[in-house]
Amino acid sequence: MSTPLAERLRPNTLEDYLSQQHIVGNNGMLTQQIKSGVIPSMIFWGPPGIGKTTLANVIANETERPFYKLSAINSGVKDIRDVIEKAKKSGGLFTSKNPILFIDEIHRFSKSQQDSLLEAVEKGWVTLIGATTENPSFEVISALLSRCQVYTLKPFKRLDLELLLQRAIQKDSILSKLNIELKETEALLHLSGGDARKLLNLFELIINSINQEDISITNDLVMKKVQNKSVRYDKTGEQHYDIISAFIKSIRGSDPNAAVYYLARMIEGGEDVKFIARRLLILASEDIGNANPTALVLANTTFQAVSIIGNPESRIILSQCATYLASSAKSNASYNAINKAQQLVKETGDLEVPLAIRNAPSKLMKELGYGDDYKYAHNYENNFVEQEFMPDEISNTRLYDPGNNSREKAQRDFLRQRWKEKYGY
């Protein structure tokens, strides 16, 4: 049986590695580390099929290190210890040639399994490279995370994927013998959902289904050859992103019926309940915010509850939260405010904080005027006195605009009473 196309095309050098130029380009941080031969333990975070495993292999090849691979799906503490013992015997301890231990889907490891890696990483018996599709801040224990650099891998651009297909046609030992013309790519790119491995497997499937040497790839041909009758929820593929997107947008659009439908799709497909709860937690602040502050409280309680309860009862808690959020008043005012503020910081840089509101812990700072003329709000009527809090260059810049709902209208009235002249509320 032939090796799959995705494996046959897997690059072994940085020169052949596509995309991720922000970390492996000429001036990328990882490129510099590879050239120096001093590789820290690290975690690659990004969607499936974007080259996490391949990059780990490339690093091992470029630095000429022993390479050990485990999958968190089917490995336990014993497997980890066995590999670490092999690594200790095969590598140069406390040198730059430590063996690389690559763990795919490291987020699936339990706390005890992740704990079993700490000593090996700490003492330099192995250089750990973990791959995850989930936010490592939530899924990797802090002790291990603090010992690793986190690199975020970005989805492939269309040009990268088309280049990958051309590489397959021109350089693959099997496909290069055929006369393949790539006329259209939209259907291939859509069906693969930006997953390079899925793209190559799909491409090979189509080529193998055509019993001739002259092949012209068009969108119609692709759609005819690919029979996508499966309705199974794919936790690592395109459906994963489509359904969570539909779920979030249904709640944002105040449709509890659609929200609970897509929630059921995810639950029936075996989606991680903590993943769903995290998205609800983000939405409660991003899309509801101060229109209903209780939403964030409920979403946070939901996340804590499902983390303890697990399946199958978590479905009830998630349904309560999703329907509540969908039925709540909406506002993205807080979300817009931080976006505006961050953009303003990027444009204006490190502006001077007004002297009156600076901290003055030392005698010298007091002599320089730090804290002078600061007005303590509680000493004034209604606990308010007008004073300047913004740097001079951006004085009177309004970043927060309360939304058009009862709670935020009350906020606007409150701010208008105090800042009408300065911020124009």
Q: What is the pLDDT along the chain (425 residues), one digit of tens a residue?
A: 468 888 898 888 888 888 888 898 888 889 888 888 888 999 999 888 889 999 999 999 998 888 999 988 888 888 888 888 887 776 554 445 789 999 998 988 888 889 999 999 988 889 999 999 888 888 889 999 999 999 999 888 889 999 999 999 998 888 988 999 999 999 888 888 788 888 998 898 888 888 787 889 999 888 888 754 333 445 555 566 778 889 999 999 999 999 999 999 888 888 888 889 999 999 999 999 999 999 999 999 999 999 898 888 999 999 999 999 999 999 999 999 999 999 999 999 889 888 888 887 777 777 777 878 888 889 988 888 888 889 989 998 999 999 899 999 998 899 998 888 888 88
Domain boundaries, the chain: 20-152, 158-225, 238-326, 354-423
Residues in the chain: 425
- Give me the CATH code for the 20-152 domain, please: 3.40.50.300
The confidence score (pLDDT) of residue 240 equals: 66
Q: So what's the pLDDT on residue 374?
A: 87
Assess contact for 162 and 185: CB atoms under 8 A. Answer: yes
pLDDT at 290: 94
Burial, 22: exposed, middle or buried (Cβ in 10 Å; 0-12, 13-18, 19+)? middle
Domain 238-326: CATH class, spelled out: mainly alpha
CA torsion angle 33 36 41 46 (round to 10): 20
Report how far residue 102's alpha carbon sits from residue 120's, in angstroms, rounded to the nearest whole number: 13
pLDDT value at residue 227? 58
The pLDDT score that the predictor gives to residue 321 is: 97
Assigned CATH class of 158-225: mainly alpha
